[in-house]
Structure formats: C-alpha cells, structure tokens
Structure 1
Amino acid sequence: MRRALLFALALLTLPVHAAELKPFTASYTADWKQLPMSGTAERSLTKGNDDTWTLSFKASMMIANLSEDSTFTVDKDALLPKTYHFERGGLGKTKKMDLDFDWSQKMVTGTDRNDPVKVPLNRGMVDKSTYQLVLQRDVAAGKKSMSYQVVDGGDVDTYDFRVLGTEQVETKAGKVDAIKVERVRDPTQNKRITVLWFAKDWDYLLVRLQQVETDGKEYNIMLQDGTVAGKAVKGS
C-alpha cells in the first residue's frame, strides 16, 4: 500500500512546454481515502549555466520518503536525458537507481538495486521523470493520444495516455479549467486506473491526480500552491 501511494506521488509533474522551458516549483498534498494517512510532495525545475536542466522531486509521508532527480538537455523539440537518480526509503523495501544516458555511444548504463544496467539508447527514449514533461508538452499541443518509451532500470516500458476531455477542478488555489488525461492499460493485464488533470491557463501544470488500485483503494493528489512564470497560481 505504501508503494502504491509513493507511485502516485511520483507521477506529479511541473507545468512545462518542451520548446519554452522555464523554472517552476509546485507543492501538493496527497490523501489516502481508506486510511488516515496523508503526504506532501514538491517538484522543482532549474536551469544550469551549461543549458542542462534539473528536474527534482521529493515526497514524504509518515512511513516513507522518496526522492527523484533528472538532468536533461533540449535538442530542437526533444528532451534528452543525461542522468537519472531515484531513491526510496523508510519502512518496507528500499530502492535506489542511478542511470547515465550516453547519446554519443547510444547506451544507458548504471545500477538498479545494485544490479548493473546496460540498455541500447534510441532517440525518443526518456527516463521515468522526463517523460512527464513530454506528456505535458503533448497535451498543450492538443494531442489526443500519446505513447512514450521509458527506461526503467534494465527495461524499456511503453507508457500510453489518452485525453478524456475538459473539466473544472477545485484546488486549494481555486477552481481551474483542466484537460483530463488517462493512463491507458490493458484491463486484462492491469486494472489500475490513473487519471491526471492539467491546468489549461497555467502552462498545463498538473493540478490533480487520482489513482485507483486493483484492490479498490483510492489516492487523490491535489495542488496546494505553485508558481508559473513567476506568478502564483490562482483559480476562480
């Protein structure tokens, strides 16, 4: 159960269009409906002097914590990952992953739970953090269905999404008009449901995430506060 909530927290992302990246910060609250348990999460995007961007994520709750950091560069309309770090601690199983993306050698190397990783690298492949920025760019561009090749340790998984429509979401920052997006899974293989809402008027900032596990447990993550282009997010 702890792992499921941390997975939901890890889907949080920043408001970004790949062609016009700007630094952002956002804070979220997370609630687990079946248990008196809550958590918080923060995400930030910063740019270095060498045109390398860093996307950082931290989540904490009563029994566990999680951190995730990605660095990448922008080449035309593509995000090219450079490094990826993931670490989860607390009760239960811990996990640590470090990956390096070598585009000159077209190879991903690193470790996953101390096991060596070596995966052929092709353009379009992203890590488990930067794909979220690509998803927001595609939603902003008006795409209705999206598919991404995501490096997860020694595996390359396909993540599929589809746009369900528009909906108004009430957050702590006020009511915002959002695009509703669903993670597409084969129901015969995985019955988990993941739905995300991106704010249309705030560079498609993720304002809500809902996840329903196969056992019926439900998690809701909601924007607490954030800034877009230096302005505080405010709804109606």
Structure 2
Amino acid sequence: MSFLQETPNAMRQALRQTLPAALMGVLALLFAQSPTALAESEAALVPYQLAYAATLNGMDIDAKRELRVNGNRYEIITSAKNLLGSITEEGTFSLDEQGVIVDHGYEYERNIIGMKKTEELSYDRTAGVANYEAKKKKRQVKLDGNYLNRLSYQVQLQRDLSNGQTTLQYQVIARGRLKDYNFEILGEETLDTPLGPFKTIKVKRVREDDDRQTIMWFAPELNYLLVQLWQKEEDGDDHKLVIKSGTINRQPIVNGGDHS
C-alpha cells in the first residue's frame, strides 16, 4: 500500500512502496465498500479500522488503515511504524451526486531516525488545478479529468471489484505527476489469515519497465477489504503483509461474518 514508501538507509528497504498504499496507499492499498450497500446505492461507504502485520527485510512492522465518515466527507488515514520511525498518509474526499470520488486533499509524512519528509497535494477546483509541494519542490497538475490520488484510487479499485468490473485502470496524481495505475484480476483463491480462511479475489499490479511484482488479495465477504499483499523487489527480495484484526462499520471482523 502506498504508505510503504522508499526511505533512507535500512528503513528504505523495510518501508518501501508496496501497492498500492499501499497498504498501496497502502493496504492500501485500500477499502470499505459494502456489496449489499452497492446494490442499493453506489455512494454508500462504511467506516473501518484495520491492522496489518508485516516483516520486511527482517524487521517487524505494524500497519494500520482507517476510513472515517463525517457527514458527506470521508477521511482515509494509513500508517506504518517500527522502532526506526513511522510513515503516515491522510486523504479526504467526498462523493458527488453520481457517486464519483472528488478529492479534497492528501498529506504524507515520514519520520525515520529523525529525518522528516512531508508532501502535500491540495486542490483548487476553481482554477482547475492540483498543487503538489514537498520541501522546495512544487508541481502543478491541470485537472482535465477525474484524477485520483494515492489513497483515493484504492477506494475506487475496491468499488470497481465489488461491481464486477474487469478493467481496472486509474489516472493517479503521485508526487505531483500524473501516472497510469493498471491492475489485472488473476482469479479466485482461498487464503489463510490470522483471522481464518477467506475466499479472495487475487489482483496483480501491472507495471511497464519495472521488474517489481505486486499481488493483492481482496475478500468479498469483508466488503472487498485487502487481506494480504505480496511484493517482490527488483533485487529479488520479497515481502508479505497480512491482516491481523479490524472492524467494519464498528463491528469486529470475524471469519464468515456479515459486515455490511
């Protein structure tokens, strides 16, 4: 998921980007659409809190992801931490009358061994631009389409999976540049997790000119939550992240439960 970003020295290897967040954006990433609610209303989203466990390059990492609902506004918060530091992402969005995601802001903060980095993406809908800022770096993206950011595209990915869509392509503003994120459905698989076995949809991130491999497993019975993510790096190292606990719509996740 996207909050596993590249970081300096040893932590750079342990907390590099995995998915889309990630836990791409991470857990990304990413993930509270109820199949039952979708049949009634495309715009329905429910709050959740998720906890994931991962061991990356020999280091244990605790990761969390949360969707908060405040009226017609939604806030996504993802975080990852260990003894060396932490990474946090926050994004806010709403849904228009057609149920389309409208982003309002995105922030990223990394604090590793006292070294801090921040990024911010803000939106000026009147001017039709998105403004990116990180240290002395500033970029602007013209909003010619309904572009998503590194957290909100993860929400849309799971909405699309829950609707049975097979074309999973998104235009994402990442670090001030417009990028295409593409995914491919590999099939179904029953996956064992600390919460028990789940039937899942297996999805692969499609990359060009990049040897990294990223595969994600989403559980339809858990509102298409991400339950596991695996990534193989260009150097051959591989990492796995798996769900260990959580709540959906304030109800504890249990294997086979209905959380809509």
TM-score (norm 2): 0.83
Deviation digits for residues 72-91 of structure 1 (CA, Å, limit 9, x no counterpart): 11012311110100011214
In the alignment, is the contact (CA less than 8 A) between 1:101 and 1:121 conserved in 2?
no
SS across alignment from 1:136: helix
Equivalent position amino acid for 2:128 in 1: K
Output the CA distance in 1 between the equivalents of 2:220 and 2:78: 22
In the alignment, is the contact (CA less than 8 A) between 1:101 and 1:108 conserved in 2?
yes
Residues 1:155 and 2:155 aligned together: no
SS across alignment from 2:43: helix
Q: Which residue number in structure 2 is paired with residue 2 of structure 1? A: 11
1:164 Cα deviation (Å)? Answer: 0.5
Output the CA distance in 2 between the equivalents of 1:137 and 1:19: 10
1:65 Cα deviation (Å)? Answer: 1.1
Equivalent position amino acid for 1:88 in 2: R
Q: Which residue number in structure 2 is paired with residue 25 of structure 1? A: 49
Residues 1:11 and 2:30 aligned together: no
1:92 Cα deviation (Å)? Answer: 8.9
Q: How many residues align?
A: 231
Equivalent position amino acid for 1:58 in 2: S
Equivalent position amino acid for 1:44 in 2: E
1:114 Cα deviation (Å)? Answer: 3.0
| 1:71-220 paired onto structure 2 within 5 Å | 71-75=92-96, 76-91=98-113, 94-186=116-208, 189-220=209-240
Output the CA distance in 2 between the equivalents of 1:63 and 1:103: 38
Q: Which 10-residue stretch deviates more, 9-18 or 68-77?
A: 9-18
Output the CA distance in 2 between the equivalents of 1:113 and 1:156: 19
Evaluate the alpha carbon distance shift between residue 136 and residue 5 of structure 1 in structure 2; reply closer, same or farther with a 3 A threshold.
farther
SS across alignment from 1:139: helix
Equivalent position amino acid for 1:3 in 2: R
Q: Specify which structure has the higher proportion of strand.
A: 1
Deviation digits for residues 147-194 of structure 1 (CA, Å, limit 9, x no counterpart): 1111112211110001100111111111111100000012xx101000
Q: Which residue number in structure 2 is paired with residue 230 of structure 1? A: 250
In the alignment, is the contact (CA less than 8 A) between 2:31 and 2:223 conserved in 1?
no
In the alignment, is the contact (CA less than 8 A) between 1:64 and 1:90 conserved in 2?
yes
In the alignment, is the contact (CA less than 8 A) between 1:23 and 1:45 conserved in 2?
yes
1:4 Cα deviation (Å)? Answer: 4.8
Q: Pairwise CA RMSD of aligned residues?
A: 1.8
TM-score (norm 1): 0.91
Identity in percent: 29
In the alignment, is the contact (CA less than 8 A) between 2:91 and 2:105 conserved in 1?
yes
Equivalent position amino acid for 2:45 in 1: L
Q: Which residue number in structure 2 is paired with residue 60 of structure 1? A: 81
